[in-house]
Structure 1
Amino acid sequence: MPPRRVITGRSQEPRRRFAEELRLLRTGKGESLRQLAEVLGWDASNFGKMEGGQSLGSPEIVEALDQYYGTTPMLLVLWELAVADPSQFKEQYRRYMLLESEAVGLWQFSVSSPPGLLQTDGYAHEALTAGGLRGQELTQQVEARTSRRKLLEGAEAPPFRAILAEAVLRNSLRDLGEWRRQLEYLLEVAERPNVTLHVLPFGSGPHGLMNTDTMFLRLLDARTVAYTENDVRGELIEETGKVEALHRTYDAVRDLALNPAESRTFILRMLEEVPCEPST
């Protein structure tokens, strides 16, 4: 059994540290990527990307590696640190992502796309590709965005309330199969005890958040901060008076939205309208 190394220390970047450990463990056994793949049953390219820092892999792969190397749960702990590492996000989002990871309550309003916390891999990939990302940067940013879903999982997950403008449910992906999976995921998370979804239907009239995605974070010190974003810029708002005024606007929008049961029915109806197979 290889000696267990401490979780902290050496590299200050969790993603780099994770990749470094994978390389050290494999080379310490004198194995090639192909030999490792033959033993564990995943493609060698998966392990190569993980060791190169281009991919974090899945928890299933990491658990298998932990068992194979006899390091349980070191690699899984490093993987979780890498997934939560704010440095994987673009610089302008890092402070917000750090606060989000520590939040004890979250509220969201989405104008035209599902919140990042509720996006499937397929949705994130198509959306980020449309934004111009390619190659390794695309892979890393898809992982960074979709890894945020873990925040809403488990018994200790914070409460999350999201208001989705109807445009979110109408603006489908080009890949209808992936769009079905996105709608199915929204229905799935809406059944969780910590998640509440509202749909704001067309015809609800003008309101104060019409063009602005908005997220509120309730922090451990009882402060609430807000993050707003439009097509041009994003802003983290921490001044109490501004946050409270924005929250009143959010509450007014929630009063216009469907209740959770009506919203689930609405999303189900949208799902039923999606063809099972793309038309030719």
Structure 2
Amino acid sequence: MPPRRAVTGRSQEPRQRFVEELRLLRSRKGDTLRQLGETLGWDWSLFGKMESGHTLGSPEVVEALDQHYGTPGLLLTLWELAAGDPTQFRERYRRYMTLEAEAVSLWHYAVSVLPGLLQTEAYARDLLSAGGSRGQELTRQVQARIGRRELLDGDAAPRFRTILSEAVLRTPLENAEEWRAQLEHLVALGERPNVIVQVVPQELGLHALTNTDTMFLRLPDGHTVAWVETGYSGQLVEETAAVERLQLSYDLVRDLALSPVESRKFIRRTLEGDSCEPST
């Protein structure tokens, strides 16, 4: 049986179809982007980014659009298809990497592994190998990750803060010497004027970002975006209200973390093989 031929003239690629439907519905309604923003209560530029394909927006925004256009469930279904398309993770990550290179400051929380900007080559290789990379592809990915570290070098380097769950320091490399080198590298980076490293001890229990790796990027125009990642996917969050909610969670975790000075002592005790109990 021959393959079914699409007769609508619409794109069969999930993200592009979502974008096309957004544009079509707004055109039929006769709204400008500013009018849409004023009616629904979101910054109009968000809808422009959604219609250009730069972001998918959040489910809350899409549900509001469905209600506004009288298309219950249509846009949300298209959004779910676009968000679940595996090709979209690569596209979102490429956009994130572009924004990371432009950022004037970055702040981060790590659940169980070090952020790429702080990894040694050995750490990056072990981590990427565990994720399934092999051969030339592994070599390429390691080189790309190590190249990213240059972002923190030089007089014009952005400010970078990372808050590490203690689990990060309790998950060593198989090679003890390579793990020691990684921890020494971490201590040295924490002594740079533009880098702040803090630790959240496990004894403090659950908190607002217990299972969420998050990176915030402050861009030159003052706008902040966030990258939220699991072991299998990632999401670029650009909608202002969603970013602000994540920032509030981050601030609560920062209040729990050891100071930069105490955090360096904590990491050094890990190097020495001690119990890593915070000093009093």
TM normalised by structure 2 equals 0.65
Aligned-partner Cα distance in 1 for 2:235–2:93 = 9
Contact 2:92–2:236 (CA under 8 A) maintained in structure 1: no
Indicate yes or no: 2:215 matched with 1:215: yes
Number of the residue aligned with 1:134: 134
Indicate the RMSD between aligned Cα atoms, in angstroms: 1.4
Please state how far the C-alpha of 1:226 moved relative to its aligned partner: 0.2
Amino acid of the residue matched to residue 123 of structure 2? Y
Structure 1 segments, 4+ long, off by >6 Å, are: none
Number of the residue aligned with 2:194: 194
Number of the residue aligned with 2:157: 157
Gaps of 5+ in 1: 1-88, 275-280
Amino acid of the residue matched to residue 255 of structure 2? D
Deviation readout 1:85-137 (Å, 9 max, x if unpaired)? xxxx9544211001000000000000001111100000000111111111110
Q: State percent identity of aligned pairs.
A: 60
Mapping 1:188-267, distance limit 5 Å: 188-267=188-267
SS at match of 1:123: helix
Deviation readout 1:218-255 (Å, 9 max, x if unpaired)? 00111000000113321000001110111010000000
Aligned-partner Cα distance in 2 for 1:192–1:200 = 20
Please state how far the C-alpha of 1:205 moved relative to its aligned partner: 2.0
Mapping 1:35-184, distance limit 5 Å: 91-184=91-184
User: Which of the pair has more CA radius of gyration?
Assistant: 2
Please state how far the C-alpha of 1:177 moved relative to its aligned partner: 1.1
Aligned-partner Cα distance in 1 for 2:248–2:113 = 23
Aligned-partner Cα distance in 2 for 1:204–1:156 = 36
Shift in CA distance, 90/125, structure 1 to aligned 2, threshold 3 Å = farther
Please state how far the C-alpha of 1:174 moved relative to its aligned partner: 0.5
Aligned-partner Cα distance in 1 for 2:90–2:134 = 15
SS at match of 1:181: helix
Gaps of 5+ in 2: 1-88, 275-280
Amino acid of the residue matched to residue 140 of structure 1? R
TM normalised by structure 1 equals 0.65
Aligned-partner Cα distance in 2 for 1:159–1:131 = 29
Amino acid of the residue matched to residue 97 of structure 2? M
Amino acid of the residue matched to residue 201 of structure 2? P
